[in-house]
Amino acid sequence: MQSIEIMGHPRFFYEFAAYRKGILVWKDSFYNVVCTVAKNNVLDVYFQSGSFAPSTTWYMGVIDNLNYTTGPAEGDTQSSHGGWVESIAYNEVTRPSISWAAASGKAKASASTCNFTMSADAIIRGGFITNNNTKGGTSGLLYSAGVFNQGTRSLLTGDVLRVNVTVSVT
């Protein structure tokens, strides 16, 4: 059977910036892994009648350095990503939601930053996008995840981590 490409490859670009008392202390960015469950979800939503609905809200999470052994992989799911864990060292009660701007030029960017106010000192590795807002939760659809190009990044209690994300289809 011959494969037909019906849609481009979705790709996320994450931009992280850490502020301490309002002053930028570091920036980092990366491209992601789009998980198999997310690719299957796109196919089910767009090419199967009636039974699948698209997620209307997406949420940002942070990957912790604690117990980190390997970065995100295409086979990861929200309930099973053996090489990494979520950092929950922030004050917000739930994962911040991503507000999207209108698509333009085959890309869709966040309209505002997702903010994390650190409740404890932390070392982080990257971030992820899911359709579940439960901080530390393991249900829902893990769409995308990735790690910093420059390794780990440190945050202190009270630092504010601001994240922007752009998804493009090539």
pLDDT in tens, 58-80: 899 999 999 888 877 666 667 67
Q: Which residue has the tokens 């000192």?
A: 121
131-160: buried (b, 16+ CB within 10 Å) or exposed (e) per residue?
bbbebebeebbbbbbbbbeeeebebeeebb
pLDDT number for residue 86: 92
pLDDT number for residue 162: 98
Whether 35 has a pLDDT exceeding 60, the answer reads no
pLDDT number for residue 68: 85
pLDDT number for residue 141: 78
pLDDT number for residue 2: 43
End-to-end CA distance of the chain: 24
Q: pLDDT over 70 for what percent of the chain?
A: 77
> Global pTM?
0.86
Mean pLDDT within 12-40: 85
pLDDT band at 103 (very low <50, low <70, confident <90, very high): confident
